[in-house]
Amino acid sequence: MYKTETADIRHQYPRSENREHSVPLYLTSSFVFDDAEQGRALFADEQPGNIYSRFSNPNTTEFIGKMCALEKMDDGFAFATGMAAVFAGFAGLLKAGDHVLASRALFGSTYQILVKILSKWGITTSFVDASRPEKWESHINKNTKMFFIETPSNPGLDIIDLSIAQKLKEKHNLILFIDNTFATPILQTPVDYGADLIAHSATKYIDGQGRVLGGVIVGNQDLIDEVRFFARQTGPAMSPFNAWLLSKSLETLSLRMERHCSNALALARELDGNAHLIYVRYPGLESHPQFILAQRQMKSAGGIITLLIKGGYDRAQRFIDALQIFSKTANLGDTRSVATHPASTTHSKLSIEEQEQVSIYPGLVRISVGLENKDDIIADIIQALEKSKKGKK
């Protein structure tokens, strides 16, 4: 087994007769059969091979293979977006009457799927708080089938104790489904804590440059077979071009995450105790309520910081508008630093009460720390805080 930094570079789809060093783009909708019998055998799953790019393609196969190597999982499927991947993990494995246990602090669209979409199909969800693991088991019912976790959470940066989740999964025979987008397999490998399925929004750190959309699920073979059946019939497959680009991006993931983390830690330390802020939230700071847990279960604390700015909504808006280097967008995990106001964008469909339950407040700003020089990042944040204090943009 190769180490992580080698696996994300050296795993490659088998070379063709052209002996290419880097895998080519396979921009084809379908694949031809040598004869009618081969077509029959491929559709009957008696012979491996490509049939149709909605099912598989050499580019998606390479990308999935790399993700499986990084996450130490059996198999996977690549999706057009991260939310398509998360949805397929639910829809491919759950049925009417099933119950899901989920961490309360979730990305807004994931929360909406659980509350407003799956509920229409007779699938119910109970939400648990990261800070109260002693209460989790009391929410497990006879019909509980899955425990879905996002750690660190978006945007509150709650850390879920995966070792406790593993014990509950094993005791109650649950499917443990982890969204590992923020940590990436470089910083956290949920399979070490019994994860059965792992999802990523590849749009974020896996791409890392804000270019394409993508999602992926990897997991145990029996579960991936069910997810693949759902995906093959419903068609949320990743395009070959996006898979090709994401596969190449993985070759620099470990290097990029090292810089994201070091820059984020430097910024968090600089801002900790700043007079303009109610708090700085970062798992790498000792002030984070789950600092010790983050140290135990993550290799480093990631590239996301949240700032709760004094002055609420208006000042948070002035702060964002005063930033000079930072991009103002809802994406994250980019080489370029990004500032986002979750309450009015990514989590705006949640009620105020629902936002507060996951530590989203009018003055909260999510910072995705990029790869620029750390001194420039820090200076831009400091000047924007000062400028926003004066009520000027």
Average pLDDT over residues 307-322: 96
Lowest mean pLDDT among 102-116, 174-188, 222-236, 344-358: 344-358
pLDDT in tens, 140-176: 999 999 999 999 999 999 999 999 999 999 999 999 9
Evaluate if residue 393 carries a pLDDT over 50: no
Local confidence band at 391 (pLDDT 50, 70, 90 cut-offs): low
At 12 the pLDDT is 79
Q: Please say whether the beta carbons of 323 and 384 come within 8 A.
A: yes
What pLDDT does residue 67 have? 97
- Evaluate if residue 392 carries a pLDDT over 80: no
User: Which pLDDT score is estimated for 16?
Assistant: 78
Which pLDDT value is given to residue 357?
79
Q: Rounded mean pLDDT of 354-360? A: 82
Output phi, psi for 136, to 5 deg: -60, -45
Q: Considering the chain, what is the average pLDDT of its residues?
A: 94
Of all residues in the chain, the percent with pLDDT exceeding 90 is 87
- What pLDDT sits at residue 173? 98
Contacts made by residues 3-11, CB under 8 angstroms, sequence distance 24+: 4/70, 4/185, 4/186, 4/254, 5/254, 7/66, 7/69, 7/70, 8/66, 8/69, 8/70, 8/250, 8/251, 8/253, 8/254, 9/250, 9/251, 11/62, 11/65, 11/66, 11/69
Q: Which CATH number fits domain 4-252: 3.40.640.10, 3.10.150.10, 1.10.10.60, 1.50.10.20?
A: 3.40.640.10
Pairing of strands 338-340, 364-368: antiparallel
Break the chain into its structural domains and give their ranges.
Answer: 4-252, 253-389
Nearest to 127 by CA among 143, 158, 148, 98: 148
Please, which pLDDT band fits residue 13 given cuts at 50, 70 and 90? confident
pLDDT class of 1 with cuts at 50, 70, 90: low
What's the CATH number for 253-389? 3.90.1150.10
